[in-house]
Chains A and B, each alone.
Chain A
Amino acid sequence: MAEIVLDKVSKRYPDGVLAVSELDVSVADGEFVVLLGPPGCGKSTVLHLVAGLESISSGELRIDGVRVNEQPPWQRDLAMVFEGYALYPHLSVRENIAFPLRLAKLPDATVRARVGEVAERLDLTEQLDRRPAMLSGGQRQRVAIGRAIVRNAKALLMDEPMANLDSKLRTQLRSSVAELQRDLGITTLYVTHDQAEAMALAHRVVVLRDGAVQQTGTPRQLRETCGE
C-alpha cells in the first residue's frame, strides 16, 4: 500500500488551458480521499497526472515519499478505473480481469486462482465467460473494478465510476465500494461531482474548483462548515 502526495502540482495543457493549479493533496496509506467538484474543474486531469497519463507541468508528485514525476505509467503500479470503464470488447470478462496478471506473466494457475477470487468477491462468477457487450452497466463497472484490484496495486484511482449508472443503482453501490476499499485497505483517490456520493464514501473530501483546492475535510467537518 502507499501514500500519495501532490505538492503544488500544476498542469497546463499544450493548448494553454490551466487545468490544475498549485494543487496540494495528500492521500495517506489506506485512506479513501474523494475529489469533489463540478464538471470541468480538473478532477480527471488530477487522476491522469497521478497515473502518469499526462505530464506534470510544475510541482512534485510523490508516492511513498519518492518523486515519480518522470516515471512512466506502467511503472507506477497504480490501478485506475475509467469513467467509461474501457473494458476490452475482444476479451471475455475472465480475460479482462486477468489482463494485468497476463502482462506480469504470472503462471496460469495463479492467474486462474486470483481471477476466481476477485470474481467471487465482486459477484461476477457467472459472467466470467461472457463478453463485456453482454453485461449490464453495474456488471461492467464491477469488471472494471476487478481488473483494477486483481494485482494488488499500490493505490486505486477511480474516475466517476458511478456516472454511467442509474441513480438507484448508484446509491446501492456506494456501500459496496466503501466496503471493498475497507476490506482491501487500499489507498484510494476517487473522483465525483456528486456531493452525496462523496460524503457517503470518503474518509476525507477535497473540494476542487477551477483546478485548485477550495476546501478539505472529513464529511462531518464539511457538513458542519456548510451548516447543513
Chain B
Amino acid sequence: MSGGESPGKEKHARAVGARVPVALWIPATLALALVTLPVIGLLLRTDFARLPALLTSEASLHALRLSLLTAAISTVLCVLLGVPLAIVLARSRVRGVRVLRAVVLLPLVLPPVVGGLALLYLLGRTGFLGYLIDVTTGVRVPFTTAAVVIAQTFVAMPFLVVSVEGAVRAAGDDFESVAATLGARPWTVFTRVTCPLLLPALASGVVLSFARALGEFGATITFAGSLQGVTRTLPLEVYAQAEADVDSAVALSLLLIVIAIAVIVLARPRAVEGVRG
C-alpha cells in the first residue's frame, strides 16, 4: 500500500494504521461469545460417560450412515452438475446469463423449508413433474432416500457453483487461449488446463457443499419426511431426539460440531488461497 518509504517508517505507519479502536472490541467480543458460548453450553450439557453408547445406538448409526451416504451422493451430483454450470456462468457471453446467476444463488438465501415445499410441489404426486414420473414409471420421489439427495443437492449446489465460478473468472481465459495456440483441442484444453487450474477452488467447493448437505434439515423434512433408516439424517435425528432423549440429541449435535470444525479446517486455507495454488 505505502510503497517507496524506508522499512522502519513503513513499519511504524502500519502499526498506527493497524491499531484497533477500543470501541470495536466490545461488539467483537459479543460476536465471538455468540458463536462460542452455545457450543460450550452444549459441551457442558454432554453426558460424556454415556457418549459412546449414545453415538452407537441403532438410531444414531442409521442416521449417521444415511447422512454420510446421501451427503456424499449429493456432493458428487453437485460436482457433476455444478462445475459445468459454473463454467457456463463465468464464460458465456449470451445475454440473460446474469439473471441465471441470480437464480442459481436462490437456494443460498431461500429458507430451506420453502425450498422443500417447492420441491414437493414439483416432484410430489400433484406436482407436474412428479405426476409425469408417477404415471410413466410408477416411481414416487417424495419421502424416499432419493428425495433426501435431491433436497441436499438443491441447497448445496450454490456453494460449489459460487466457488468454482469465482475461480474461473479470476483465472481469465488466457491460460486456455495459450493452450489452443499451442495445439490443444477444446476437450484437451478442458482436461489439461481448465480442470487442474480449478482444482483448489473445486476442493473448497466440495468441502463446503458436503458440509451444507450434511447439515440439511428444512428442505429434507418437508420434502422427504423423517423415516428412520430412509430419510432421517443426522440433523433430523437430533430434532426427533430433542424431545424423546435429550442426551442422545446432544451427543449427535456434538458429532455434527466435530464434523463442522473439521470442514472449516479443511476448507479454509484453500478458500483463501484461491487459484494461486
Contact = CB atoms under 8 A, between A and B. Distances in A.
A99 interface: yes
- Majority SS at the chain B contact face: helix
B185 A88 contact: no
Interface residues of A, number: 28
Contacts of A88: 175, 193, 196-197
A133 B199 contact: no
B182 A79 contact: yes
A147 B93 contact: no
A78 B181 contact: yes
A103 B177 contact: no
A103 B199 contact: no
Interface string B64-90: 000000000000000000000000000
Interface in A86-113: 86, 88-90, 99-100, 103-104
A52 B178 CA distance: 11
A55 B199 CA distance: 30
Contacts of B277: 89-90
Given A82-B178, A86-B178, A89-B276, A104 B197 contact: no
Interface string B181-225: 111110010001100110100000000000000000000000000
Given A14-B93, A103-B188, A86 B199 contact: no
A77 B275 CA distance: 29
B179 A99 contact: yes
A39 interface: no
A109 to B, nearest CB: 20
Interface in B134-178: 172, 174-175, 177-178
Interface in A56-106: 72-74, 76-80, 82, 84, 86, 88-90, 99-100, 103-104
Contacts of A86: 174-175, 177-178
B180 interface: yes
A53 interface: yes
A100 B184 CA distance: 8
A51 interface: yes
Interface in A14-53: 14, 48, 51-53
A73 B181 CA distance: 5
A74 B174 contact: no
A215 B81 CA distance: 52
B177 A82 contact: yes
B200 to A, nearest CB: 9
B8 to A, nearest CB: 25
A60 to B, nearest CB: 20
Contacts of B181: 51-53, 73-74, 76, 78-80, 157
Interface of A: 14, 48, 51-53, 72-74, 76-80, 82, 84, 86, 88-90, 99-100, 103-104, 133, 147-148, 151, 157
Given A74-B180, A147-B178, A157-B181, 11 more contacts: A48-B177, A51-B177, A53-B181, A73-B180, A74-B181, A79-B182, A84-B172, A86-B177, A99-B179, A99-B182, A148-B182
